Amino acid sequence: MPPNETEKKDYYTEAELAGLREKFIYMLTGQPLSIVVVDAGATNRRLVVNALQPGGFENVYEARTGAEGLALAKKYRRRQMVAIVDEALGGGIDYPAFGRAFRQIAATGVLILIGNRLSPAKLETAAKLGAAAVFQRPVKGEALLAKLKELGIE
């Protein structure tokens, strides 16, 4: 069989299906990464999106509420997913609920949280969610890009 051809079978394991979906998504998009920025405030969302531009990220989607962010994560699911979420999500969704739902969409997704006053309770919640980073608002673009690079997201 030629090297880039997929063997046709009557039955595929879940792992094989996941691999085929990943190949198909990459063929359609050319990009293995999606970033969803969730913040109720347009100004804060734009600051984060603008901070990502020097990193060359193409698939960056904006949402006003947690529900919108989750819908975008489902719609634009890629091999590698990043959610950058402000603490004031709106729409009745809090950090823990968003984090659990995001993990169901992207089990290996990276969750980055942003907050105004980072109390020990908020940091504890972030740790329980497995957040890769927590930033104080306003987010400094260089710090965000450095953290993404440290996490192997480029």
3-state helix, strand, coil in the chain (%, to 5): 45, 20, 35
In this model, does residue 29 exceed pLDDT 50? no
Task: Give pLDDT, residue 146.
Answer: 92
State the pLDDT at residue 22.
56
CB 86 within 8 A of CB 114: yes
Structure confidence at residue 8 as a pLDDT band (50, 70, 90): low
Q: Is the pLDDT of residue 141 over 60?
A: yes
pTM of the predicted protein model: 0.73
- Between 88 and 69, where is the model more confident? 69
pLDDT for residue 139 is more than 80: yes
**pLDDT per residue over 73-120, tens digit each?**
888 887 778 888 886 554 445 677 788 888 888 877 888 888 777 788
Q: Exposed e or buried b for every residue in 82-114, given b needs 16+ CB within 10 A?
A: bbbbbbebbbebebeebbebbeebbeebbbbbb
Which pLDDT belongs to residue 3?
47
List of domains in the chain: 31-150 (3.40.50.2300)
Cα 9 from chain centroid (whole Å): 33
pLDDT of residue 55: 86
The tens digit of pLDDT for each residue in 113-134 reads 887 777 887 788 788 778 888 8
